[in-house]
Amino acid sequence: MFSVIKQQNQLTPEAVDELKEMSGALFIEKDKLIINREKLLGTGVCSNVYRGFLYGPAPLIKLTSLIETQDFQDCDVAVKIALHFGDDEVDQLFREIEAMKILQYNINVISMLGWRMLNGKPALVFELTEQDLLRYAKMFMSMDIKEISFKTILSILWQISKGMEFIASKNIVHRDLAARNILLTNDFQAKISDFGLAIINSSGMKESQVPKKLPVRWLSIEAIVEKLFSEKSDVWAFGVLIFEVFSLGQDPYAGIPTGGILRFLRNGERMIRPRLATQEIYELMCRCWEENMETRPKFEELVPKLHALLEDEAGCSKYYDELKLLPENEERGNFLNDNNSVMIEVLDKGL
């Protein structure tokens, strides 16, 4: 890979050396990875994802030495292969590998097990999941509202907030937080994925070289106007993600052209409450969409808020509150009562 990059003059020699040193710990030998090209799991603007199998231990096991990563050996995997290998792909490869090496392992962040080159193109190997959150939300359209598990939805949102709290603690700004980039396991563990647009070691900074394409409909006002990205711009995107889920996968700002979004927001307008969202959930969304970034909550504030909503939905909070009010001689008897395609648009064009 490094000779290809040098030939294309895509990075400075120093940057190539940095990438080589940084990614060496996650390199997978050729005979350790099998890819099933007939099992296409997903396709995106820059890459395809295939099902594969990894023989032996994943490099991530050696990198972390954590018990939680020990299952990542002799296992089915997802293999993300770039469709091209131009400037954008090199940049995204650099960002994603660097972010994954910093994050290493968190239960609510997708685990990158390693990487290798295939036919001159980079292939990133990840733990295998079941589906993405956008597809899951759209599935609700064919269901009766009584069949929808709001407890599961709130659990997923709570997990995402925990994962984003961890990411923010590592001074990483994701910049592409959206339902399509949240992956779900069979037992509905939420995994934040796709760090190709991430800013590393940045907390509230303007990036000098903004990528050509960014997800405008998920961007905060300061990100659109000033190219300013921080944890607070990720919080704005989290609010849009919540809207996606409770609107059954509807595109944000449906019916509004990209060029009109900034004017819409600057006029104090916001997306209306989705039919499935309670007023409390909608108020949480609107807090994420405050124009003044300083008044938006941090993820560390959203985690306990969503946990409280989850407990309320499960009935746990009500149970414990009532239990405290019971007379001592009644407590004993009462224990028995039952109680994946979106347009990525040019940031500057038409705004």
Residue 285: pLDDT over 80: yes
Catalytic residues: 176
Burial of 254 (0-12, 13-18, 19+ CB in 10 A): exposed
Question: What confidence score (pLDDT) does residue 118 get?
Answer: 78
pTM here? 0.84
Write out pLDDT tens, residues 8-41.
444 455 554 555 565 677 888 888 999 998 889 9
Residue-wise DSSP of 227-289? -EESHHHHHHHHHHHHHHHHTTSPPTTTTS-HHHHHHHHHTT--PPPPTTS-HHHHHHHHHHT
Question: What confidence score (pLDDT) does residue 81 get?
Answer: 87
Residue 334: pLDDT over 60: no
Buried b (16+ CB within 10 A) or exposed e, 121-142: bbbbbbbbbebbbbebbbebee
Q: Where are the beta strands (DSSP E) in the chain?
A: 33-43, 47-57, 73-82, 112-118, 121-127, 131-132, 182-184, 190-192, 205-206, 213-214, 228-229, 345-346
Cα 42 to Cα 48: distance, rounded to the nearest angstrom: 6
Residue of higher predicted confidence among 336 and 233 = 233
Question: What confidence score (pLDDT) does residue 19 get?
Answer: 56
Q: Which domains does the chain have, with CATH numbers?
A: 2-127 (3.30.200.20), 131-313+340-346 (1.10.510.10)
Residue 266: pLDDT over 90: yes
Map residue 177 onto helix, strand or coil.
Answer: coil
Write out pLDDT tens, residues 50-101.
999 999 999 999 989 899 999 999 999 999 988 776 666 667 777 888 898 8
| CB proximity list for 272: less than 8 A, separation 6 or greater | none
pLDDT bin (cut points 50, 70, 90) of residue 47 is confident
pLDDT bin (cut points 50, 70, 90) of residue 207 is low
Give one word for 270, left, alpha or beta, with left for phi > 0 and alpha for psi -120 to 50. beta
Across 232-237, average pLDDT? 98
Question: What confidence score (pLDDT) does residue 331 get?
Answer: 37
Cα 120 to Cα 198: distance, rounded to the nearest angstrom: 24
